[in-house]
Amino acid sequence: MARTRNNTLKLKFDSARKLSPAPESKGAAKIKPRYDLFINGKFEKPSNKKYFSTTNPATGEKLSEVADANASDVDKAVKAARVAYEKVWKKMPATERAKYVYRIARMVQERARELAIVETMDGGKPIRESRDFDIPTAANHFFYYAGWADKLEYAFPNRNAKPLGVAGQIIPWNFPLLMAAWKIAPALATGNTVVLKPAETTPLTAMHLAEIIQEADLPPGVVNIITGAGATGAALVKHPDVNKIAFTGSTDVGKIIQRSVADTNKKITLELGGKAPNIIFDDAPIDQAVEGIVNGIFFNQGHVCCAGSRLYVQESVMDEVVRKLKDRMDTLIVGDPMDKNTDIGAINSKQQLDKINEYIKIGINEGYDMYQSNCSLPGRGLFLRPTIFTHVAQSSRIAQEEIFGPVLTIQTFRTDDEVIQKANNNPYGLSAGVWTDKGSKIFNLTTKLRAGVVWANTFNKFDPTSPFGGYKESGYGREGGLHGLSAYISF
């Protein structure tokens, strides 16, 4: 039996590896050697003339350099946003505002191929994901919020919703363009102006978005995009003329931001880390559940705040689930993100790879059973095999802390109450997954799991119409849907 299985597995593995290369063409996207700051509708040099490089994590090669904005550049961007807000944007009829947001959506769509290539080269995610998920979902956010711009009185009847003013937005490196869209679209639709800071390892699609915004003829200063690292983000958070901070990133930085706005009246939303339980009951459709486990933890190399990184399997199906999961892992192709066959691309940065490897070492040292697929890895670049640990203790650091990589911990459970308790026994509360044939079980769990999003018989499903956000150390405030509008208005 084991032998037959190994043979089938080997066949699957070989056929996966024998796919001939199908690389997307780099030529379809133009990356400039240098990008300046996008302030008041123009590209401007940083005042300290400093730039830093962004590289391709799959090859190590330098792609471009971007400006390192200091506090005086931040001030310039905030001033431009303030003037645009007072003089143009807040006075503009909502139907006109909607047209601009709609135009940006169309242009993102038109330039989708270019944006997907740039996203994949700058960040390391498989082209299939940037092409089929990141860029279309980014366009959808602009389309969706364009639709709300002139309907705020229906969204909030008789409440006279007003914009907040200037929004400072800081985004991470795991879904660069999507996070930019996620933040800019609702801000513009509600009449706010924006200063956005992309993450330092993935600034390039934001700069392409700046070009789109310029071409869309958005009034100068309505959206400003400034590049830089943590210090640039901190200067934006501290700027006295910013009315709202929207942050997605690590819980540590979220706490710093919360402290620094504590004695101001800035509004704030924090979308932070996660350690989502993905729960498989014995009556679940196991093959589909295995696909959901793979999608939950290996999508975007596991660099996903809502990744299903803690797997809970009902004891009676544990062996079957783990066996099928290992088989499936062996078919995953890890490699060149630009290849259309690739399932798992490059780890975003050396720093992140080191962090993930550190956690793998902790898991090994604590004595858990580790399994890694035995696929080949490219000779250069930052890559990691998909990794699982079985029979992990609930108290283990690898089951409690966010690893943000393709590493899954697996535990068993026997009863509903036990798994609810285990799932909630974690500092985070962003998302969760439940796999079962029984609707009643789904309803029972969704009401008891402390998670902002609970997926049933699916995982990592996103839609602009549905709100997203966390409890506990995963932050607060909701983005997406109608809820996402209320984060940018006052009454």
* Contact flag: residue 253 with ligand NAI (CB under 6 A): yes
Interface with Mg ion in residues 40-59 (CB under 5 A): 54
Q: Which does 256 bind (CB under 5 to 8 A by kind): ligand NAI, Mg ion, none?
A: ligand NAI
| Closest residue to ligand NAI, based on beta-carbon distance | 233
Q: What is the 3-state secondary structure (H, E, C) of the chain?
A: CHHHHHHHHHHHHHHHHCCCCCECCHHHCCCCCEECEEECCEEECCCCCCEEEEECCCCCCEEEEEECCCHHHHHHHHHHHHHHHHHHHCCCCHHHHHHHHHHHHHHHHHCHHHHHHHHHHHHCCCHHHHHHHHHHHHHHHHHHHHHHHHHHHHHCCCCCCEECCEEEEECCCCCHHHHHHHHHHHHHHCCCEEEEECCCCCCHHHHHHHHHHHHCCCCCCCEEECCCCHHHHHHHHHCCCCCEEEEECCHHHHHHHHHHCCCCCCEEEEECCCCCEEEECCCCCHHHHHHHHHHHHHHHHHCCCCCCCEEEEEHHHHHHHHHHHHHHHHCCCECCCCECCCCECCCCCHHHHHHHHHHHHHHHHCCCEEEECCCCCCCCCCCCCCEEEECCCCCCHHHHCCCCCCEEEEEEECCHHHHHHHHHCCCEECEEEEECCCHHHHHHHHHHCCCCEEEECCCCCCCCCCCECCEECCEECCECHHHHHHCCEEC
Minimal distance in Å, beta carbon 31 to Mg ion?
A: 11
Should residue 352 be labelled a site residue for ligand NAI when binding is judged by CB under 6 A?
Answer: yes
Q: Which residue, 168 or 381, has its beta carbon nearer to ligand NAI?
A: 168
Which member of 305, 313, 384, 487 binds ligand NAI (CB under 6 A)? Answer: 305
Which of the choices ligand NAI, Mg ion, none does residue 112 contact, using the CB cut-off of 5 to 8 A by kind? Answer: none
- Can residue 200 be called a binding residue for Mg ion (CB under 5 A)? no
CB of 477 to ligand NAI, least distance (A): 13
- For Mg ion, the closer CB: 125 or 310: 125
Site for ligand NAI in 191-250 (CB under 6 A): 197, 199-200, 229-230, 233-234, 237, 248-250
The yes-or-no answer on residue 211 being catalytic is no
306 flagged as catalytic: no
Given candidates 402, 419, 423, 486, which one binds ligand NAI under the rule CB under 6 A? Answer: 402
In the bound state with ligand NAI, the residue whose beta carbon lies nearer, of 356 and 375, is: 356
Candidate list 44, 129, 200, 271, residue with the active-site label: 271
Site for Mg ion in 80-139 (CB under 5 A): 122
The residue ranges that bind ligand NAI (CB under 6 A) are 170-174, 197, 199-200, 229-230, 233-234, 237, 248-250, 253, 256-257, 272-273, 305, 352, 355, 402, 404
The residue ranges that bind Mg ion (CB under 5 A) are 54, 122, 201
The residues annotated with a catalytic role in the active site are 271, 305
